Amino acid sequence: MVSETTARIMDLLRKPGEEYLSGERLSDNLGISRSAVWKQISALRAMGYAIEAVPSKGYRLSVVSRPYNDIEISSGLTTQFIGRSLYFHRDTPSTNETAIRLAKESALEGTVVVAEKQSGGRGRLGRRWESPSGGLYTSIILRPPIAPRDAPRMSLMTAVAVAETVADYLPHPPSVKWPNDLLVGGKKIAGILAEMDAEMDRVHFIVIGIGINVNAVMDGLPPEVRDIATSLREVRGEPLPRVELLQNLYCKLERWYDRFLREGFTPVREAWMRLSDMRGRTVTVKQFDGVVKGAALGIDDDGALLVRLRSGEVERVTGGDVVIGSS
Ligand code: BT5
């Protein structure tokens, strides 16, 4: 538990417009001695807060190094329901796994699970998502009133929300690659895994898992992943504030979800098409029962990829992995 004095120091350090706060001002304000102020600052640093101390000026909180924890993620979150109930783990096998369990135990819509790192991060089709410390790993429980066949639209909607979030931190927006990869300079910066629990005609819940390579050091990844992956840190050349990024992500996702439920898939489809640079390019789609090759035309109203074959026929692709180019 955070003590009341510690919380008050944090409030003072966070006040907008304050550059440095002198030890004297802090001690007057809190009614404690200068050495007690120093002890409090040391305790906050031990909790992960980077607080600069400049002689004759005082203390200042570095915003970028806001620690990544549930207190920070919840504070200042402006969403209506996404993230209002939040489970934070330092280390967990998979946030999707935890979220599915919570959803089965009747967790409310909007409940989220966040992890600092994952030991068994999941990709699609039983693949692995490398999840070292410094990345963003979250799963969101949604209970949309839709039929299971409409669920793929939810992953495409998520791809749009993630792309818009990441775009705020980059000089150029990332591109989306069907079904839901996010690429920067041709390398994967984020992935989405939506897992569903449903009956024939009704979705009980969808857990949307999002992994974004934010500050994780990519050098530690297995070579085959390192070569095809990048991170925001790598692109920007500096670490980014993960708390702020995650809060923005929840806001954007909530807005898109709301819009999707009110207006349907058309606005999502249009946004997705704007973010995708696949149109007109040659694609090879590897499916479990074969390969489809042709020119990508875009996505249809169900979120399926449309590919014009050499014969001129247009094929609807609903699953598989896309390689852009003719390989
Ligand atoms: C995905 O699968 O891209 C879905 C990733 C979803 C991860 C999130 S993290 C939070 C939540 N909890 C989970 O357990 N999962 C979700 P897929 O399209 O199958 O891509 C997997 C492939 O991407 C792997 O086979 C690697 O080639 C590559 N890959 C693995 N880790 C990566 C990383 N950190 N960055 C970029 N590429 C990676």
Burial call 209-231: b when 16+ CB within 10 Å, e when fewer: bbbbbbbbebeebeeeeeeebbb
pLDDT grade for 108, boundaries at 50, 70 and 90: very high
SS3 284: strand
Is the pLDDT assigned to residue 1 strictly greater than 60?
no
* 66: pLDDT strictly greater than 50: yes
Residue nearest to ligand 1 atom 34, measured at CA: 130
Q: Is the pLDDT of residue 129 over 50?
A: yes
Helices (H), the chain: 4-14, 23-30, 34-46, 70-74, 95-104, 151-167, 223-226, 232-236, 242-263, 266-275
With H, G, I as helix, E, B as strand and everything else as coil, classify residue 326: coil
Q: How far apart are the first and last CA of the chain?
A: 56
Tell how far the Cα of 139 is from the centroid of ligand 1, in angstroms.
13
Report the atom number in ligand 1 closest to the C-alpha of 130: 31
Task: Point out which residues pair with 291 in neighbouring strands.
Answer: 286
Say how far residue 287 (Cα) sits from the centre of its chain.
Answer: 27
Band of the pLDDT at 326, cuts 50, 70, 90?
low
Which of 29-38, 45-54, 137-146 bottoms out in mean pLDDT, i.e. has the lowest? Answer: 45-54
Q: Which atom of ligand 1 is nearest to the CA of 216?
A: 34
- Nearest-angstrom CA–CA distance, 72 and 125: 34
Q: How far is the CA of 7 from the centre of ligand 1 (A)?
A: 37
Q: What is the number of the ligand 1 atom nearest to the C-alpha of 221?
A: 34
On the 0-12 / 13-18 / 19+ scale of CB atoms within 10 A, 100 is buried
pLDDT category at 13 given cuts 50, 70, 90 is confident
How far apart are the CA of 229 and the centre of ligand 1, in A? 10
235: Cα separation from own chain's centroid: 17
Q: Is the pLDDT of residue 217 over 60?
A: yes
| CA 142 / ligand 1 centre spacing (Å) | 20
Q: Which of 87, 281, 73, 311 is nearest to 177 (CA)?
A: 281
Mean pLDDT score of the chain: 92
311 is written with which tokens?
């014969």
With a pLDDT cut of 70, the percent of the chain lying above it is 97
pLDDT tens across 175-195, in order? 999 998 999 999 999 999 999
Give the mean pLDDT of 97-122.
98
Confidence of residue 65 (pLDDT cuts 50, 70, 90): low
Widest pairwise Cα distance in the chain: 82
Phi–psi pair at 291, nearest 5 degrees: -130, 140
Distance, in Å, from the CA atom of 323 to the CA atom of 327, rounded to the nearest integer, reads: 7
| Phi (first) and psi of residue 148, to 5 degrees | -55, -35
pLDDT tens digits, 272-290: 999 998 888 999 999 888 8
Contact status, residue 147 vs residue 173, Cβ threshold 8 Å: no
Atom of ligand 1 nearest to the CA of 138: 10
Is pLDDT larger for residue 280 or for residue 105? 105
Residue 231 above 70 pLDDT?
yes
The amino acid sitting at 58 is G
Please determine, for residue 2, whether its predicted confidence score (pLDDT) is greater than 60: no
Indicate whether 313 pLDDT > 70.
Answer: yes
Mean pLDDT of 98-116: 98
Q: Is the pLDDT of residue 149 over 50?
A: yes
Q: List, as own/partner pairs, every contact residues 225-230 make where C-beta atoms lie below 8 angstroms and the sequence separation is at least 24, other chains included.
A: 225/130, 228/187, 228/188, 229/130, 229/187, 229/188, 229/189, 230/184, 230/185, 230/187, 230/188, 230/189
Instruction: Report CA(216)–ligand 1 centroid distance (Å).
Output: 14
Q: CA-to-CA distance for 160 and 317, rounded, in angstroms?
A: 19
CA 122 / ligand 1 centre spacing (Å): 6
For residue 111 the two structure tokens come to: 């409940």
> In ligand 1, which atom is closest to the CA atom of 224?
27
Question: For residue 216, how far is the Cα from the chain centroid?
Answer: 13
Lowest mean pLDDT among 59-73, 178-192, 245-259: 59-73
